[in-house]
C-alpha cells in the first residue's frame, strides 16, 4: 500500500472507532519540514463543526486513537493538524511493494484506454529543425510518454503546413539558389529564405534541370514547390531521428483543404451566426464572445487563413475519434489558441476536448554567449548538429528540465560535460553506480537470489528511510508531470533522488555488512528501478556503465 493511502486508511479506522463519519476525501500532505513528520492531515478542520469540538480537540482525540496503530511510531496533534511519524516497518513494506511491481511501478489505468492525440513540432517544412523546435520535440514526446503511462492510448501527430505563402517563398528561394548555381544570380524574394541549406539543393537541381527554368513563372513555381517540400521533410525527419522522436501520423494542410473541411466549417459557423463579411473577407465574430479582436477566416481572394484551416483540422481530429487532444505550441500563439477554442465551442465540440501545452523560446548559451535563432535568415544551429555535439541524452534532458512556460537558456558547455555538474550525467551516474554495486555483489556471491524475500529490518539509516519515502512519491510525480504538462518535475525528482543517493553511497558500505547487505541491495534495486523508469519516460538512457 502507498504511504498516503496507508495514512488515510488509518484515519478512517480511527474515525470509525470514535464514531465519526469520515469526509468524502481525507486530505493528506507532506509537511514542509521533516521535524513535522512524514505526513500531515487537516482532517480535523473538516470534522470540527459536526463533532462540536474545536479542530485541536478533534485532532487530539484522533491522535490518541491513532497511537495504537502499528504504522506509526508517533502521532502529534498540533494546532488542529495531525502530524504522522511512520515506523520503519511501514516504509519497508512500501519498498517490498515497489520491488514486486517492477517496471509497472508508477503506471496506472486511469486513462481507461481513451484515445489521446499529442500534436507537436508541426514546423512549416521551410527548413531543418532548430534548437527552438528541439524544445517542442522533446516536450511533446515526453508528455506522450507520461500520458501513456497513465493508461491513455497516445497518438503522436505532426501537422504539416505544406500550403500557402511561406511554401511559395521557399520554392522561389530555392529557384534563386538554382539560378545562382548556374551562374545567373537572382535576388531572393522579399521575406524569402536565406538559409545555406538551400545552396546544395540548388546545385543538385542545376545538374538535374540544366537551364530549363530561366524565369520564375507558374511552371517553375509548380516544379520547385514539388522539389522543395519533400527535401525539407527529409531534413526534418533527420533532425527528429537525431533527438529520438517518431510520429505515428503526419497530416498535411493540403489534405484538410481537399477533404472539404474548410468549406464545411465555414458553412457551420455561418449557420451559427458566428461569421460576417467585411472588405470582401470572412471574419469570425470573436469579440462578441469576449475575445480581443475578430480574426479573418477567409481572405478577400478566397484563400483560407492559417486559423481557418487549423479550426477545420481540429474538427477532423474530433471526427477521427480522439477523446482528448493536446497541442504543444509556443507561448506566442495564445491569441490564436483562444480563437480556435472559441470556434470549436461554437461548432459544438465538448469543452475540454482541446488543451494547449505552452512553452517559451530557447536560446543557446555557448562559448561565444547567447545566440538567437532564425531559420529564414540562415542564422541557426540545426537540431541534428546540436545532438551530434552534446548527445541525445543531454539534448532531451536539457530541453525539458525547466518549466515550459519559462524561457530556456540551453547551456551548451554544461551539456557537453561528463561530470556531476551536468544534471543528466548526475542522474545517470546514480543508476550506473548501483549497476556497478550489483556486478560486484554477483562477483562476491553476496547478491540474494530473491530480493523480495530479504529481511529489510536493517534499513534504519535516515537516508535509507528518506529514499524509500521518495521512491513512494514516484507515481504522484508521474501523474502531476503528465496532467500539468510539466516534465521538469520529473527531472527535479530524479535529481533529488540522486542527491540523496550519492552522499549515502559515499558514506555507507553496502557489501560485506552481513545482514545489512541484502537489505541495502534491495533498497538499491528499488532506487535503480525508479531511476530507470524516470529516465525512460524522459527518453534518456539509463546506462549500466559510463
pTM of the full predicted structure? 0.92
Q: At what angle do helices 55-66 and 3-18 cross, to 10 degrees?
A: 100
Q: Is the pLDDT of residue 370 over 50?
A: no
Residues 6+ apart with CB under 8 A from 245: 121, 137, 138, 140, 141, 156
Q: What is the pLDDT of residues 524-536, one digit of tens each?
A: 999 999 999 999 9
**pLDDT tens-place string over residues 46-63:** 999 888 999 999 999 999
Cell, residue 3 = 504511504
> CA-CA distances (angstroms) from residue 207 to 180, 195, 200, 203, 367?
12, 20, 11, 6, 39
Task: State residue 368's pLDDT score.
Answer: 57
Provide the terminal-to-terminal Cα distance of the chain, rounded to the nearest Å.
35
Answer yes or no: are the C-beta atoms of 85 and 71 closer than 8 Å. Answer: no
The string of pLDDT tens digits covering residues 390-445 is 999 999 999 999 999 999 999 999 999 999 999 999 999 999 999 999 999 999 99
- Phi then psi for 295, rounded to 5 degrees? -90, 155
How large is the average pLDDT for residues 497-512? 97
The mean per-residue pLDDT over the stretch 491-510 comes to 97
CA distances to 154, 217, 244, 359, 427 from 399, in Å: 21, 43, 13, 11, 16
Instruction: Render 69-135 in DSSP notation, one character per residue.
Output: -TTEEEEEEETTEEEEEE-HHHHHHHHHHHHHHGGGTT---TTTT-EEEEE-----SSS--BHHHHH
pLDDT band at 380 (very low <50, low <70, confident <90, very high): low
Inform me whether the pLDDT recorded for 375 exceeds 70. no
Q: Is 137 exposed, middle or buried (0-12, 13-18, 19+ CB in 10 A)?
A: buried
Q: 101-116 pLDDT, tens per residue?
A: 999 999 999 999 999 9
- Portion of the chain with pLDDT greater than 90, in percent: 88
Sign of CA dihedral 263, 264, 265, 268: positive
Is the Cβ–Cβ distance between 172 and 191 less than 8 Å? Answer: no
Of the pLDDT bands very low, low, confident and very high (cuts 50, 70, 90), residue 376 is low
Res 369 pLDDT > 50: no
> What's the rounded mean pLDDT across residues 502-528?
97
From the number of C-beta atoms within 10 Å of its C-beta (0-12, 13-18, 19+), residue 130 rates as buried
Is 159 strand, coil or helix?
Answer: strand
Domains in the chain, start-ordered, CATH in brackets?
3-86 (3.30.1360.70), 122-253+360-416 (3.40.50.620), 419-537 (1.10.730.10)
pLDDT given at position 545? 95
> What DSSP designation does 304 have?
B
3-state helix, strand, coil split of the chain in percent (to 5) is 55, 15, 35
pLDDT of residue 136 exceeding 50, the answer is yes
Which residues are bridge partners to 284 per DSSP?
275
Amino acid at each position: 500500500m502507498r504511504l498516503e493511502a496507508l495514512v488515510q486508511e488509518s484515519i478512517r479506522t480511527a474515525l470509525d472507532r470514535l464514531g465519526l463519519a469520515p469526509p468524502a476525501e481525507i486530505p493528506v500532505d507532506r509537511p514542509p519540514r521533516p521535524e513535522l513528520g512524514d505526513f500531515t492531515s487537516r482532517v480535523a478542520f473538516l470534522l470540527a463543526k459536526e463533532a462540536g469540538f474545536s479542530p485541536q480537540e478533534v485532532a487530539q482525540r484522533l491522535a490518541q486513537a491513532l497511537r495504537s496503530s502499528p504504522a506509526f511510531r508517533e502521532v502529534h496533534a498540533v494546532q488542529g493538524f495531525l502530524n504522522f511519524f511512520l515506523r520503519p516497518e511501514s516504509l519497508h513494506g512500501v519498498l517490498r511493494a515497489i520491488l514486486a511491481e517492477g517496471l509497472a511501478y508508477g503506471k496506472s489505468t486511469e486513462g481507461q484506454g481513451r484515445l489521446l492525440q499529442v500534436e507537436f513540432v508541426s514546423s512549416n517544412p521551410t527548413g531543418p529543425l532548430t534548437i527552438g523546435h528541439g524544445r517542442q520535440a522533446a516536450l511533446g514526446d515526453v508528455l506522450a510518454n507520461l500520458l501513456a503511462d497513465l493508461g491513455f492510448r497516445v497518438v503522436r501527430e505532426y501537422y504539416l503546413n505544406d500550403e500557402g505563402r511561406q511554401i511559395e517563398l521557399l520554392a522561389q528561394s530555392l529557384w534563386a539558389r538554382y539560378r545562382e548555381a548556374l551562374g545567373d544570380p537572382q535576388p531572393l524574394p522579399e521575406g524569402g529564405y536565406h538559409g545555406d541549406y538551400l545552396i546544395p539543393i540548388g546545385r543538385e537541381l542545376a545538374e538535374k534541370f540544366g537551364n530549363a527554368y530561366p524565369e520564375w513563372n507558374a511552371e517553375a513555381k509548380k516544379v520547385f514547390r514539388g522539389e522543395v517540400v519533400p527535401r525539407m521533410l527529409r531534413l526534418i525527419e533527420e533532425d527528429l531521428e537525431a533527438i529520438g522522436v517518431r510520429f505515428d501520423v503526419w497530416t498535411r494542410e493540403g489534405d484538410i483543404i481537399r477533404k472539404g473541411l474548410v468549406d464545411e466549417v465555414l458553412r457551420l459557423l455561418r449557420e451559427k451566426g458566428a461569421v460576417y463579411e467585411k472588405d470582401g473577407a470572412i471574419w469570425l465574430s470573436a469579440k462578441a464572445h469576449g475575445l480581443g479582436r475578430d480574426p479573418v477566416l477567409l481572405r478577400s481572394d478566397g484563400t483560407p487563413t492559417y486559423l481557418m484551416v487549423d479550426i477545420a483540422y481540429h474538427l477532423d481530429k474530433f471526427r477521427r475519434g480522439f477523446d482528448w487532444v493536446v497541442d504543444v505550441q509556443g507561448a506566442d500563439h495564445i491569441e490564436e489558441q483562444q480563437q480556435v477554442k472559441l470556434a470549436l465551442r461554437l461548432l459544438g465540440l465538448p469543452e475540454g476536448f482541446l488543451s494547449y501545452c505552452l512553452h517559451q523560446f530557447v536560446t543557446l548559451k555557448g562559448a561565444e554567449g547567447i545566440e538567437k535563432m532564425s531559420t529564414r535568415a540562415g542564422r541557426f544551429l540545426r537540431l541534428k548538429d546540436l545532438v551530434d555535439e552534446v548527445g541525445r541524452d543531454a539534448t532531451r534532458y536539457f530541453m525539458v528540465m525547466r518549466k515550459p512556460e519559462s524561457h530556456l537558456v540551453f547551456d551548451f558547455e554544461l551539456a557537453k560535460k561528463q561530470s556531476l555538474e551536468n544534471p543528466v550525467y548526475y542522474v545517470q551516474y546514480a543508476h550506473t553506480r548501483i549497476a556497478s554495486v550489483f556486478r560486484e555483489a554477483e562477483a562476491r556471491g553476496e547478491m540474494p537470489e530473491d530480493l523480495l524475500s530479504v529481511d529489510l529490518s536493517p534499513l534504519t539509516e535516515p537516508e535509507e528511510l528518506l529514499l524509500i519515502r521518495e521512491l513512494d512519491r514516484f507515481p504522484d510525480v508521474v501523474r502531476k508531470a503528465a496532467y500539468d504538462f510539466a516534465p521538469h518535475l520529473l527531472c527535479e525528482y530524479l535529481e533529488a533522488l540522486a542527491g540523496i543517493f550519492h552522499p549515502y553511497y559515499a558514506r555507507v558500505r553496502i557489501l560485506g555488512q552481513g545482514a545489512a547487505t541484502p537489505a541495502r541491495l534491495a533498497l538499491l534495486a528499488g532506487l535503480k528501478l525508479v531511476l530507470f523508469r524516470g529516465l525512460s519516460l524522459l527518453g534518456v538512457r539509463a546506462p549500466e556503465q559510463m
